[in-house]
Amino acid sequence: MLQAFFQALVITLREGFEAFLIVAISLAYLRKSGRSRLMPAVHWGIAAAMAASLLGGYALFHAPNQELLDGPLAIVAAVSVTWMIVHMWRAGRRMKGDIEGRLKSSSVKPGTAAFTGVFLFTLLMVSREGMESALLLMQLRGTLYLALGATAGLVGAAAIAWIWSRFGHRVNLALFFQVTAIFLFVFVVQLVIRGTHEMAEQNYLPFSQIIHERTESWGPDSPFGHLLTYLLVILPGGWLLLRAVFSKRPVFTTPAPPALPDPPTQRHSHSAAR
């Protein structure tokens, strides 16, 4: 059950942080670019995305014939997470620029088109994170621990987002995405094994009987399942330690010293001499 808590925590921590980060970057960009009038579009987009995510999650958790969907949904979740890992590993450093570029193209439109563009951008970006969270959490077991882990992850994501908004220039976002990506990669292995086993149990695959028997010994209570559980902690922690020791860019960077004031011009010097 503690495994479900930890997995739910990391999933909502990462997905929640991405959602919070998208919102923070969007609001900061609109404010700095003089388009504060479009900030309500972000707020409405967040509300609509939360509603869509809750409805989508409810539909997934209460779908009829749930056992028939377990295997296919696990494979879909594995593919989705793999794409997300590759994308964020490659584009994590450019995330801020990508969001600002998309917002720029949406916010320069005339009249209500700009409001609609920013609203749709926020709705799609935030609801994507919410639906990914629902799809991943659906693969876990243990209702109480799952809820506690998901809540703790959202609180942690909000805290990290707040820290980023205050000290964003000091946080190594690329390292954060790399560490959570390693965790999710191990989780993907678990998803593929579980999805394949469930699909074989429902006779969705060729040679289903053989595949079902072979994957029976790879479950979460098997030695291999326990190894994957340990790797969920060991691999991300090891990568963080290696990067902290050997990387040229530390986890937290020291702020640059304040610039010295410019020396007085020659003209001011002559004026003072008079």
Span 201-212, pLDDT tens digits = 888 888 888 888
Higher local confidence (pLDDT), 143 or 122: 122
Residue 259 has pLDDT above 60, yes or no: no
Q: What is the pLDDT of residue 92?
A: 57
Span 154-176, pLDDT tens digits = 888 888 777 766 665 556 666 77
Residue 119 has pLDDT above 50, yes or no: yes
Q: What is the pLDDT of residue 143?
A: 66
Name, of 55-59, 88-92, 123-127, 251-255, the range with top average pLDDT. 123-127
> Measuring CA to CA, which residue among 50, 188, 44, 28 is closest to residue 128?
50
Span 30-65, pLDDT tens digits = 887 788 888 888 889 889 988 888 887 777 777 676
Rounded mean pLDDT of 131-153? 74
Rounded mean pLDDT of 108-118? 80
Q: What is the pLDDT of residue 44?
A: 92
Rounded mean pLDDT of 123-148? 75
Q: Above pLDDT 70, what percent of the chain?
A: 76
Residue 10 has pLDDT above 50, yes or no: yes
Span 182-202, pLDDT tens digits = 888 888 888 888 888 888 888
Structure pTM?
0.61
